[in-house]
Amino acid sequence: MLNAALTAELGGPSREELIQIGVPIVRRVAFRMARRLPPSVDVGDLIGAGNEGLVKAAESYDAEKYPRFEPYAERRIRGAILDELRSWDPITRHGRKRMVEVSKTIRKLQSQLGRAPEEDEIAKALGVPLSEYQRISMELARGPALGRVGAVDPDHVDSGFDDPASLYGEAELKQRLAGAITKLPERTQTVLALYYQEECTQSEIGEILGVTESRVCQILGDAAARLRAILAREEQVRRPVRQH
């Protein structure tokens, strides 16, 4: 293994040179990720976390294992920023309990109605006014709405190939998630497509659809609860029935 110090001795870039190479990557990754986060998130905090990831990448860089530093650094930088975001944990314990409650309610309504329930139907089943359910949806949207699919440890980035089993699991989950999204209300599907595929900000989505930014936030939170309910129901169906 050739670490940064040994690489420099052999004529490769030094630790300081690697960090200099990575500075623009930190800013690019931080600003790209900030576009998909609430306005309350300070991009400066993301850059700070990314810089820490960059330093660790420069110190652990193995030129034999990773021919190019930039892709390796970007993975480490993004991982460091995600770790920072997770450490903030914007959803409280009560919020997580509420997420489970909402998802169970949606799952029950789907079984009863044979379709995706409307927001007012969910609110009624929860025993709260529609405005309160929309407030709950906004709280849920401030957390990691759809979670991370196929998380990868940046310390184990393969230079060319991925573990087939991991790839299969990731592909299967993505396929299930894509199928679940098609069962959501059409407007919700549009918001998800604009947010996750087109990488529009919540403000931009609001302008496109003619709604407020807070309404977009509510729809994202509602989508998270609905998807959780759909995937949980599918998981129950997939489980083999125990023979007594």
pLDDT digits (tens, 9 = 90+) for 115-133: 888 899 999 999 999 988 8
pLDDT at 159: 35
Q: What percentage of the chain reaches a pLDDT higher than 90?
A: 20
Mean pLDDT of all residues in 45-68: 91
CATH fold of 4-88, please?
Rna Polymerase Sigma Factor; Chain: A (1.10.1740)
pLDDT at 142: 57
> What pTM was computed for the model?
0.50
> Which of 69, 32, 25 has its CA nearest to residue 51?
25
pLDDT at 167: 39
Angle, alpha carbons 81-73-175 (nearest 5°): 65
Question: Quick check: 3 pLDDT over 80?
Answer: no
Question: Quick check: 91 pLDDT over 60?
Answer: no
Mean pLDDT of all residues in 165-178: 60
Q: What percentage of the chain reaches a pLDDT higher than 70?
A: 72
- Residue ranges of the domains in the chain? 4-88, 93-238
Angle, alpha carbons 167-172-173 (nearest 5°): 100
The CATH code for residues 93-238 is: 1.20.140
Question: Quick check: 147 pLDDT over 70?
Answer: no
Instruction: Please tell me the least confidently modeled range out of 21-25, 56-60, 119-123, 167-171.
Output: 167-171
Question: Quick check: 188 pLDDT over 60?
Answer: yes
pLDDT at 83: 82
pLDDT at 180: 85
pLDDT digits (tens, 9 = 90+) for 196-232: 777 788 888 888 888 898 888 889 888 888 888 888 8
pLDDT band of 141, cuts 50, 70, 90: low
